[in-house]
């Protein structure tokens, strides 16, 4: 019974520290995030004020739904416009688009997998699943870019419509769910979320 009480007290303490952003400031007895430091990091690969970013996303995350609604309606509108038109020949723009996304995904995977490997190899399962990534570090920077990229990747659908290729509901549903889920889930900087981000970068 005591162990259950201790666990509940620990959860309450963690929730308080999350709400007060103590994990960012390390104003705790023990750090609540992974303290891994990258051996090599570019000067821009950091988050200088994670509290400000988190508060911004907490305040405006619902706009991921707004963007999704606009995305779906604009796709339907564009399909109607294209119904009586010849498909566009977009080989070169599509090549550039896919090349850009491939390069971005490659570097995103390379930069995040290092933190994931450290977490899974050197930390126990509790720390790997329940602790956050370093909110100031390289992994947090690329997690932020990953979230932004979910908006950019909506452009895939417009290429399909302009080329008059078959467009399934599942395609649109996937983009919408991933966008909303990523923006909403990105508030917490959890390590296992970084693992899924690394896998998504690879895919």
Q: Give 30's pLDDT tier (boundaries 50, 70, 90).
A: low
Catalytic residue among 14, 127, 171, 174: 174
Residue 164: which region, alpha, beta or left (left: phi > 0; alpha: psi -120 to 50)?
left
Task: Give percent of the chain above pLDDT 90.
Answer: 43
Read off the tokens for 199: 């896998």
pLDDT attached to residue 114 = 87
Longest alpha-carbon distance in the chain = 71
pTM above 0.85, yes or no: no
pLDDT attached to residue 65 = 94
174 flagged as catalytic: yes
d(CA 128, CA 138): 17
């Amino acid at each position: 019974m005591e162990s259950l009480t201790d666990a509940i007290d620990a959860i309450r303490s963690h929730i308080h520290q999350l709400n007060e952003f103590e994990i960012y400031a390390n104003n705790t007895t023990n750090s609540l995030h992974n303290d891994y430091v990258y051996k090599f990091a570019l000067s821009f690969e950091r988050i200088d004020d994670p509290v400000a970013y988190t508060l911004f996303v907490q305040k405006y995350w619902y706009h991921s739904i707004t963007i999704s609604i606009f995305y779906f309606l604009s796709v339907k509108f564009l399909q109607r416009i294209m119904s009586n038109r010849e498909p566009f020949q977009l080989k070169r723009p599509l090549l550039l688009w896919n090349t850009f996304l491939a390069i971005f995904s490659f570097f995103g995977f390379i930069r995040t997998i290092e933190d994931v490997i450290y977490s899974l190899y050197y930390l126990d399962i509790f720390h790997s699943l329940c602790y956050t990534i370093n909110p100031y570090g390289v992994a947090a920077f690329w997690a932020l870019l990953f979230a932004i990229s979910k908006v950019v990747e909506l452009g895939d659908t417009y290429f399909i419509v302009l080329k008059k290729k078959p467009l399934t509901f599942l395609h649109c549903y996937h983009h919408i769910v991933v966008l909303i889920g990523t923006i909403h889930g990105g508030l917490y900087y959890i390590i296992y979320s970084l693992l899924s981000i690394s896998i998504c970068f690879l895919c």
